[in-house]
Amino acid sequence: MKVTCHRPSLATAFQIVNGVVPSRSPKEILKNVKLQLKDGKAILIGTDQEVGIRYEIPSVETDAAGEVLLPASHMISILRELQEEEIQFELTKELILIRTKHSEFRLAVVDPAEFPAVAEFEENQYFVVSAQSFREQIRRTVFATDVASTRYALGGVLMDFNLEKVTLAATDSRRLAIATAACRLEGVKNSEKKTPVIPSKAMSLIERSITDDQEETQIAVHANDALVKCGSSTIYCRLLEGRFPAYADVVPKEFQVTVSLVVGPFYAAVRQAQIVTNEESRGVEFTLSAGLLTMNSTATDVGQSKIELPISYDAEELTVTFDPRLIAEFLRVLPAETNLKLQLIDAESAAVLSTDDAYTYVIMPLSRDR
């Protein structure tokens, strides 16, 4: 079986599919990517058995249908280093021969029969979300998941669907990120509430797979898994177990202080305040006083810093201690010109950062002795 295809397109596909290929696994076969050839197109398939992806490459030249396993790490290296536009594969029972005009590689063959299947998107009910909006809302939430909780609810993003919008929420118990996007339901209509928790690994893969802002993303939710179709990719994932917190109840309803800020200057000041912190002394004091936000940090064996940011504020002085890393992660996903509000109750209660388009970020202060 011989195949000829566009190397840059194949390299892009491999980079995306490689996002689910485990670097360590008791099942060595999972370190490969399956290449399927049929109907004049190639499909790359990767999985760690919790998350899987099918990526379609149209318009390849082949003399036969078939499939083969390609070692992911070696293929990434080969495709990255080659410069030619066209790449050829010749597949035999003994080896995989990879050629360009000036290079040749021979790789061992692994039997694809035992490689796990990844489902195709063949659904009769699914939600549709603008690809651009969905990618933005993923970026605004996925960073707030608990990276240590890979199998339970805090390790993923809750997707709370209704007929007109989907709300995404993520928390690691120290902060909560909430974002919304318009959606619609296609196909069979029913009133069953859909609130899946999608693993953060799958959400990051979906974000990377959305390459065309004009497209729509299709999301089908089942009892134990979900399928997402976006552009050339179909992504499968198992849903996370456990109960996700009642996120709407976490957001305070009344505040004593509201301060208007612009992302760019605020983010720059927070990054500066973050420099003089360490794991033992990671708290920064945020002090609101007349016309000024002052950030003070002290870290043993590092030093001290004092960062000032002019603001519109004329109420009583208030000092709250935050972990600047948690604020920086929120600001990093927003354009520099974005206007936002910082809303506070007191030095001990949850604070809220929010934008005009309903992006909400709840953050817990640190105790003053940290």
Question: What is the CB-side half-sphere exposure of residue 288 using CA atoms within 13 A?
Answer: 21
| 29 contacts: CB under 8 Å, gap ≥ 6 | 69, 110, 114, 115
Is 304 buried (19+), middle (13-18) or exposed (0-12) by CB count in 10 A?
Answer: exposed
Residue 155's pLDDT band, with cuts at 50, 70 and 90, is: very high
Give the three-class secondary structure for 27: coil
Residue 337 has pLDDT above 70, yes or no: yes
Using alpha carbons only, give the angle 12, 42, 201 rounded to the nearest 5 degrees. Answer: 50
Higher pLDDT, 339 or 192: 339
pLDDT of residue 370: 45
- Confidence band (pLDDT; 50, 70, 90) for 338? very high
Q: Tell me: pLDDT of 33 over 50.
A: yes
- Cα-flanking dihedrals φ and ψ of residue 356, to 5°? -70, -20
Report yes or no: 277 and 284 within 8 Å, Cβ to Cβ: yes
- Tell me: the pLDDT tens digits for 284-294? 999 999 999 99
- Residues 123, 194: contact at Cβ < 8 Å? no
Q: Which domains can be identified in the chain, with CATH numbers?
A: 2-114 (3.10.150.10), 125-248 (3.10.150.10), 252-363 (3.10.150.10)
pLDDT at 280 over 90: no
Question: How high is the pLDDT of residue 239?
Answer: 97
Q: Is a pLDDT exceeding 70 seen at residue 111?
A: yes
CA of residue 245 relative to chain centroid, distance: 20
Residue 368 has pLDDT above 70, yes or no: no
- Of 247 and 162, the structure prediction assigns the larger pLDDT to 247
* CA–CA gap between residue 359 and residue 124 (Å, rounded): 31
Banded pLDDT at 156 (limits 50, 70, 90):
very high
**Residue 268 reports pLDDT greater than 50:** yes
Query: What pairing do the DSSP bridges indicate for beta strands 318-322 and 284-289?
Result: antiparallel
* Confidence check: pLDDT of 369 > 80: no
pLDDT above 60 for 93: yes
In this model, does residue 150 exceed pLDDT 80? no
pLDDT at 66 over 70: yes
**DSSP alpha helices (H): ranges in the chain?**
7-17, 72-81, 131-139, 200-209, 247-250, 263-275, 324-332
Give residue-wise pLDDT tens across range 178-225. Answer: 999 999 999 877 767 889 999 999 999 999 999 887 899 999 999 999
What's the rounded Cα separation, in Å, for the pair 184 and 31?
Answer: 37
The one-character DSSP state at 336 is T
Task: List the one residue out of 140, 167, 165, 141 whose CA is nearest residue 154.
Answer: 141
Question: What does DSSP assign to residue 58?
Answer: -
